[in-house]
Amino acid sequence: MAVKDVGTSIRKIVTREVLIAFVLGLIIGLVVLGWWLWPVQWTNADPMDLRESHRNTYLQMIADSFALNGNGELARVRLEGLKKPGQKDTDLSAMIMAAAQSRLAEGKTEDSLRLQRLVTSLALPVSPTPQETPAQPAVRGTSKWLRTLGILFFLALLGVGLLLLLTQLQKREPVRRRRTTPTASESLARLPEEQPEPVAPPVTAGAFAHFETVYQMGDELYDVSYSVESTTGEFLGECGVSAVERAEVGVPGKFTAFDVWLFDKLDSRTETKALLSERAAGDEALRAKLADRRELVVAEKGKTVILETGNLYLYATITDLEYEPGSESGIFSKLATKLEIVPKEQTS
């Protein structure tokens, strides 16, 4: 009797309309929303999880950054993130050399040389027979097809089960249920709860990273750089100021031009602008030499220089500027800047 009563209760609850609603909800929730509109997106992955093309781009950014600041320790820390468990430095050098060969095949000779210099400068051991993994894309493709076939097989089984259940339900006698009018308390209980009005998120504008730089004449190795991190501690890139043009050959610590640069980890380019002294700005040979990969700007106290990458803005303001007496505004004796980083989403 108990089993019969349970079966009768199930038949009363599981009607054809309920099954149709269940199937439609499954299709909309799994296929439409889960696979099409809002598929799963991976975040906070490690560099070792990057596919080959993205890994080569990341290696190129490390090489470009090292070419600018020469910070071998920072470059080695970044490269360590690409090593999978069990891999050695020889595997790392093989990856870099493979990326260099790929850049060379694309005609990007300078990028290839930067990657090769990264291996030699960090003294990474070079494997005589670097391991290549051309079969990786095929394995990934195979696993993707197997996952798709597994999902289709599961949906087919589910459809067959629902069809059998509908067939069994059609054989039973229809159960007539008496309509009842809900009471006032029940009607109030069924009213949807009032949703609170959405509150707009607080507006966060302006720079989230501030740096101050000061150059004094005589600093032969002036090259300052800062790590740019978000408010949550995520590494976003680097910025800095570097002395690039000496006043005279053999005269240490005297410069006529400085580079202001911005490196964005999500952008393949490193933006650079040169701050020239007044006399250097009138030197055509010097301008031609420096204008290769940078925009030239005449340094003036209070002037703000803006650098832009794919995700960041750098506002570099010259807060103080002095020239060496007798140099006719040609040699900097002091150059102070204020660097401010602003994410692009806050300016859009």
Residue 283, class by beta-carbon neighbours within 10 Å (0-12 exposed, 13-18 middle, 19+ buried)? middle
Quote the percentage of the chain above a pLDDT of 90: 24
Our CA angle for 5, 6, 9, nearest 5°, is: 85
> What distance in Å separates the CA atoms of residue 75 and residue 59, rounded to the nearest whole number?
10
Greater model confidence, 253 or 1: 253
User: 298, 290 in Cβ contact below 8 A?
Assistant: no
Q: How confident is the model at residue 249 (pLDDT cuts 50, 70, 90)?
A: low
Strands of the sheet containing 270-276, edge to edge, are: 223-229, 235-246, 255-264, 270-276, 295-298
Q: Is the pLDDT of residue 61 over 80?
A: yes
CA quadruple 102, 104, 109, 115: dihedral sign: positive
Strands of the sheet containing 304-308, edge to edge, are: 209-216, 332-343, 312-323, 304-308
Our CA angle for 294, 297, 301, nearest 5°, is: 140
- Report which secondary-structure segment, H or E, holds 339: strand 332-343
The pLDDT of 51-57, averaged and rounded, is 83
Return the structure tokens found at 303.
């002037």
Please tell me the predicted confidence (pLDDT) of residue 341: 94
pTM greater than 0.85: no
| Cβ contacts of 172 within 8 Å, gap of 6 or more | 11
Each residue's pLDDT tens digit, 275-316: 999 998 898 888 888 887 789 999 999 999 999 998 899 999
What are 322's strand-pairing partners? 334
Note the residue count of the chain.
348
CA quadruple 283, 70, 242, 54: dihedral sign: positive
Q: How confident is the model at residue 189 (pLDDT cuts 50, 70, 90)?
A: very low
Q: How confident is the model at residue 348 (pLDDT cuts 50, 70, 90)?
A: low
Q: Where are the domains of the chain?
A: 47-121, 209-346
Spell 304-343 as b/e; 16+ CB within 10 A means b.
Answer: ebebbbeebbbebebeebebbeebebbbbeebbbbbbbbb
Each residue's pLDDT tens digit, 65-110: 888 888 888 888 888 888 888 888 888 888 888 888 888 888 888 8
Please tell me the predicted confidence (pLDDT) of residue 8: 58
User: 60, 103 in Cβ contact below 8 A?
Assistant: yes
Phi-psi region of 107 (alpha: psi -120 to 50; beta: other; left: phi over 0): left
26 to 22, 129, 144, 163: CA distances (angstroms): 6, 52, 22, 15
> What distance in Å separates the CA atoms of residue 232 and residue 213, rounded to the nearest whole number?
24
Q: Is the pLDDT of residue 214 over 90?
A: yes
Please tell me the predicted confidence (pLDDT) of residue 178: 40
Greater model confidence, 182 or 300: 300
Residue 134, class by beta-carbon neighbours within 10 Å (0-12 exposed, 13-18 middle, 19+ buried)? exposed
User: 118, 96 in Cβ contact below 8 A?
Assistant: yes
